[in-house]
């Protein structure tokens, strides 16, 4: 039995990232020692939810609920969906030979995945779609929940083109079907602050219904208590420190409020930090840094990259010169809220408002000089600055979607051709610490792009870091023997980091020391008990050590938490086989195939089981399926996902 590693960090990536992956193969100075004046920076102050704010700020709530952010997440219902359902032709993924049809059942959204052989349906799986992620401004993607575990469904509705297709990043053989975990990184950009089970990858105790006030204003408990107690502040003259008003922050912290989410690159957490640690008014780089590729020539433009693009503009650079911590001055500084009122939808915002922002600076303000284009040409565009200087662009990462390029410049300055990537940089920290940069290169190489350039940089940086970082580098580059040399001084008990333990386990495993490997898998599983994939790896090592009872116990635990955990289902069937519970094993393997018709291990074992039982017709049916699968994997390199009959 071949061991398969399930804990691939690949699955953790957001979609900008996944695209880069497709293309390739498939701090800083820490916080100023200032103590925050804001009461709600204390972690004792809780989030209270939008309905609390509504009591006193109803107008804001009403208009905000019509914005994309206010509608970013919700229960999947026909009413909420932006999609068309009637007589939808199946979407065909030719790489996997699977069809997808979304349909309504009452008010429920459902998704059927199936495979045809001639006119017969040889496989069919139907799932209820529980949540919609995406307001429908650009897309609706869909999530499935099992016991609080969230997964993405393999079908997205692209509103601007009015069509269904595979989700971004699932094209060209990368359709991972129902297995993509929706983790904290993803949820914390698309929702009010979620409550995730500590240590789990994708289990949420409570799933909020869309981005809310407190994502830009910070937790509201202290503010609500003070206002209810009649403690008021004259906010025209003073700052109310019970809540954060972004407009009163220095410009760099204003940008941080928005780029917490509007900057999708490789997010690297500072040691000991979590995605839920950032609160508006804090310095983002104190919680995580966002790395993106540096490039020469060409344009590198991803969907959730507004903050990076804007910060390249001469308007931004020249307006915000001087200390980042200078007091905010609306006339001098330039941030997202110079143009946007986040409580009002951009769709309801008149273009005149945006153009007025340009004019405020370019007529008389900081920008001073006006447009150098011929007046007649300007007239033709009705003097609409935005139309020429912030045009809509296709994004690099999301198919069928256009957004506005926030890199404001002369249209003539736009660079043609493909960008040449020269390395990584931290968008939100001009001087990142070397340890952070090292982590950025290692994880970039590991998750997004396996090129030598990243590996070399990662090595040079990692050599100067502590053992954990060095081990991460050696793990990412598959140098397992060297990793074990680094691990020599570290005892199981002294290792407090689950990922380090897991990497050591894999290194032992890859170098043939199963006994040690199992102990380190156990350590990872103990340190992060809710991490089902760590548990599954540990159980599989016990299976290989023939400790069947212990393996079975852990696998049952996993399956109680997530009854469809594919690796655990396969492993349990293997344990049952070893224990001679043939009927149970067969039922288990058939269940695996009902979820994933292409699970090779299940097919192979069923061929054996049926042959042994003398059922040659079933055995040959399984064999045919296995052959077809192998055939498809070698030949389906040419075409990509298409919709038949279009």
Report the site for ligand HEC in 15-34 (rule: CB under 6 A).
15
**Residue 51 CA, distance from chain mean position:** 27
Q: Which stretch binds ligand HEC (CB under 6 A): 51-59, 90-98, 477-485, 527-535?
A: 51-59
Q: Report angle CA 610, 571, 112 to the nearest 5 degrees.
A: 75
Whose CA is closest to 155, among 89, 79, 74? 89
Closest residue by Cα to residue 423 from 435, 406, 436, 440: 440
Q: Which of residues 124-183 bind ligand HEC (CB under 6 A)?
A: 133-139, 141, 152, 182
Distance CA(575)–CA(548), nearest Å, equals 6
**Which has the closest alpha carbon to 359: 348, 371, 350, 347?**
371
Closer Cβ to ligand HEC, 87 or 347, answer by number: 347
Work out whether 528 is an interface residue with ligand HEC (CB under 6 A): no
Q: What are the C-alpha distances in Å from 618 to residues 120, 271, 290, 354, 573? A: 17, 53, 53, 67, 18
Nearer of residues 184 and 592 to ligand HEC, judged by Cβ: 184
Long-range contacts of 58-61 (CB under 8 A, 24+ apart): 60/213, 60/343, 61/213
Site for ligand HEC in 287-326 (CB under 6 A): 303-304, 306-307, 310, 314-315, 318-319
Contact pick of 361, 437, 551, 573 for ligand HEC (by CB under 6 A): 361
Q: How many residues make contact with ligand HEC (CB under 6 A)? A: 114
C-alpha 173/C-alpha 367 separation (Å) is 48
Minimum gap (Å) between residue 184 Cβ and ligand HEC: 9
Give me the least distance between CB of 341 and ligand HEC, in Å please. 6
Per CB under 6 A, which of residues 530..589 are in contact with ligand HEC? none
Indicate which single residue of 34, 44, 86, 372 sits in contact with ligand HEC (rule: CB under 6 A). Answer: 372
Q: Which residues contact 119 (CB under 8 A, 6 or more apart)?
A: none
Q: Judged by CB under 6 A, which stretch of 382-390, 417-425, 527-535, 570-578 contacts ligand HEC?
A: 382-390
Considering only 19, 50, 166, 474, the residue that binds ligand HEC (CB under 6 A) is 50
CB-based burial label for 231 (10 Å; 0-12, 13-18, 19+): exposed
Nearer to ligand HEC, 189 or 536 (CB): 189
Q: Which of 334, 448, 520, 610 binds ligand HEC (CB under 6 A)?
A: 334
Reading the block at residue 444, the tokens are: 């970039």
In the region spanning residues 187 to 216, those forming contacts with ligand HEC, defined by CB under 6 A, are: 189-190, 211-216
Q: Which is nearer to ligand HEC, 175 or 470 (CB)?
A: 175
Phi, psi of 408 (to 5 degrees): -85, 125
Taking the least distance from each CB to ligand HEC, the nearer of 17 and 483 is 17
Looking at the Cβ atoms of 15 and 610, the one nearer to ligand HEC is 15
Instruction: Indicate which single residue of 20, 45, 52, 487 sits in contact with ligand HEC (rule: CB under 6 A).
Output: 52
One residue of 1, 31, 209, 371 binding ligand HEC per CB under 6 A: 371
- Give the nearer residue to ligand HEC in terms of CB position, either 28 or 210: 210
Query: Residue 311 or 601: which CB sits closer to ligand HEC?
Result: 311
Contact 47, 221 (CB under 8 A): yes
Rounded to whole angstroms, the Cα distance separating 542 from 521 reads 10
CA gap 173, 96 in Å, rounded:
7
Chain positions 215 to 244 lying near ligand HEC, rule: CB under 6 A, are 215-217, 220, 223-224, 227-228, 232-233, 235, 239-240, 243
- Binding of ligand HEC by 97 (CB under 6 A): no
**Residue nearer to ligand HEC on the CB measure, 432 or 588:** 432
Torsion of the alpha carbons at 104, 109, 115 and 116, rounded to the nearest 10:
0
Told to check if 378 binds ligand HEC by CB under 6 A, we report: yes
Instruction: Show the tokens assigned to 3.
Output: 């061991």
- Fill in the per-residue mask, 446 to 485: x = in contact with ligand HEC (CB under 6 A), - = not in contact: ----------------------------------------
Q: In this complex, which beta carbon is closest to ligand HEC, that of residue 362 or of residue 396?
A: 362
Least Å from the CB of residue 97 to ligand HEC? 25
Which residue lies nearest ligand HEC, judged by its C-beta?
A: 220
Q: How far is the CB of 259 from ligand HEC (least distance, A)?
A: 6
Q: Tell me how far, at minimum, the Cβ of 474 lies from ligand HEC, in Å.
A: 27
Residue (182 or 607) nearer to ligand HEC, CB: 182
Out of 30, 124, 377, 608, the residue judged to bind ligand HEC by CB under 6 A? 377
Q: Residue 349 or 557: which CB sits closer to ligand HEC?
A: 349
CB 165 to ligand HEC: min, Å: 12
53 near 220, Cβ under 8 Å? yes
Which residues, at least 6 apart from 216, have a Cβ–Cβ distance to it below 8 Å?
A: 244, 246, 257, 280, 342
Task: Give min distance, CB of 342 to ligand HEC, in A.
Answer: 3
Identified binder of ligand HEC from the candidate list 96, 174, 201, 338, rule CB under 6 A: 338
CA-CA-CA-CA torsion sign (261, 263, 266, 270): negative
Nearer Cβ to ligand HEC (48/144): 48
Q: Shortest Cβ distance from residue 64 to ligand HEC (Å)?
A: 4
| Residue 352 binds ligand HEC, judged by CB under 6 A | no
| Distance of alpha carbon 269 from alpha carbon 266, whole angstroms | 10
389 lines the binding site for ligand HEC (CB under 6 A) = yes
Of positions 80, 125, 409, 581, contacts ligand HEC by CB under 6 A: 409
Q: Which of residues 260-279 bind ligand HEC (CB under 6 A)?
A: 260-262, 264
Instruction: Convert 605-627 to b/e letters by CB count within 10 Å (16 or more is b).
Output: bbbebbeeeeeeebbeebbebbe
Q: What is the separation, in whole angstroms, between the first and last Cα of the chain?
A: 44
For CA atoms 167, 168, 173, 179, the dihedral sign is negative
Asked if 386 and 315 touch (Cβ cutoff 8 Å), the reply is: no
Q: Which tokens is 633 given? A: 């994997």
Query: Can you tell me the distance from the alpha carbon of 403 to that of 421, in angstroms, rounded to the nearest whole number?
Result: 23
C-alpha to C-alpha distance for 164 and 26, rounded to whole angstroms: 23
- Examine residue 362 and tell whether it contacts ligand HEC (CB under 6 A): yes
User: What is the rounded distance in angstroms from the CA atom of residue 629 to the CA atom of residue 646?
Assistant: 26
Which CB, 98 or 303, lies closer to ligand HEC? 303
Q: How far apart are CA 63 and CA 52, in angstroms?
A: 16
């Amino acid at each position: 039995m071949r061991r398969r590693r399930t804990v691939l960090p690949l699955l953790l990536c957001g979609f900008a990232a996944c695209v880069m992956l497709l293309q390739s193969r498939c701090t800083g100075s820490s916080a100023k020692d200032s103590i925050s004046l804001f009461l709600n920076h204390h972690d004792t102050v809780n989030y209270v939810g939008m309905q609390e704010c509504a009591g006193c700020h109803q107008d804001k709530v009403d208009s905000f609920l019509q914005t994309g952010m206010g509608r970013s997440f919700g229960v999947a219902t026909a009413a909420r969906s932006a999609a068309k359902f009637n007589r939808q032709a199946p979407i065909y993924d030719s790489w996997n030979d699977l069809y997808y049809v979304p349909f309504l059942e009452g008010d429920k959204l459902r998704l059927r995945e199936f495979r045809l052989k001639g006119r017969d349906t040889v496989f069919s799986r139907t799932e209820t779609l529980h949540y919609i992620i995406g307001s429908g401004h650009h897309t609706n993607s869909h999530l499935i929940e099992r016991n609080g575990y969230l997964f993405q469904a393999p079908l997205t509705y692209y509103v601007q083109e009015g069509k269904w297709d595979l989700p971004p990043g699932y094209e060209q053989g990368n359709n991972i079907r129902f297995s993509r975990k929706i983790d904290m990184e993803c949820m914390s950009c698309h929702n009010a602050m979620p409550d995730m089970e500590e240590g789990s990858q994708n289990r949420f105790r409570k799933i909020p219904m869309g981005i809310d006030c407190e994502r830009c204003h910070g937790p509201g408990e202290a503010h609500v208590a003070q206002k209810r107690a009649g403690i008021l502040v004259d906010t025209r003259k003073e700052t109310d420190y019970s809540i954060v008003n972004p407009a009163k922050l220095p410009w760099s912290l204003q940008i941080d409020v928005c780029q917490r989410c509007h900057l999708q690159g490789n997010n690297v957490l500072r040691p000991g930090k979590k995605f839920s640690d950032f609160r508006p008014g804090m310095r983002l780089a104190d919680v995580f840094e966002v790395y993106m590729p540096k490039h020469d020539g060409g344009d590198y433009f991803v969907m959730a990259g507004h903050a990076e693009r804007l910060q390249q503009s001469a308007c931004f650079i020249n307006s915000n010169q001087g200390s980042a911590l200078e007091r905010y001055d609306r006339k001098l500084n330039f941030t997202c809220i110079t143009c946007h009122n986040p409580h009002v939808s951009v769709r309801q915002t008149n273009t005149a408002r945006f153009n007025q922002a340009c004019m405020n600076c370019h007529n008389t303000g900081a920008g001073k000089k006006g447009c150098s284009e011929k007046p007649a040409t300007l007239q033709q565009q009705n003097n609409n600055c935005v139309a020429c200087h912030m045009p809509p662009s296709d994004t690099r990462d999301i198919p069928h979607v256009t957004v506005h390029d926030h890199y404001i410049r002369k249209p003539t300055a736009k660079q043609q051709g493909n960008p040449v990537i020269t390395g990584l940089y931290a968008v939100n920290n001009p001087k990142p610490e070397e340890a952070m940069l090292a982590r950025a290169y290692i994880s970039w190489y590991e998750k997004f792009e396996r090129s030598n350039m990243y590996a070399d940089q990662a090595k040079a940086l990692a050599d100067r870091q502590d053992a954990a970082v060095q081990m991460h580098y050696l793990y990412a580059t598959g140098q397992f023997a060297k990793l074990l040399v680094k691990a020599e001084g570290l005892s199981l008990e002294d290792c407090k980091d689950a990922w380090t333990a897991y990497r050591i386990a894999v290194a032992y495993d890859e170098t043939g020391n199963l006994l040690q490997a199992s102990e380190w898998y156990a350590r990872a599983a103990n340190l992060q008990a809710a991490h089902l994939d760590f548990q599954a790896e540990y159980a599989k090592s016990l299976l290989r050590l023939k400790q069947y009872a212990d393996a079975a116990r852990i696998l049952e635990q996993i399956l109680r938490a997530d009854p469809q955990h594919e690796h655990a289902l396969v492993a349990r069937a293997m344990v049952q086989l070893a224990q001679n519970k043939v009927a149970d094993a067969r039922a288990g393997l058939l269940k695996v195939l009902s979820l994933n018709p292409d699970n090779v291990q299940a097919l192979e074992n069923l061929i054996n089981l049926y042959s042994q039982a003398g059922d040659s017709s079933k055995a040959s049916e399984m064999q045919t399926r296995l052959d077809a699968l192998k055939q498809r994997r070698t030949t389906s390199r040419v075409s990509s996902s298409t919709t038949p009959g279009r």
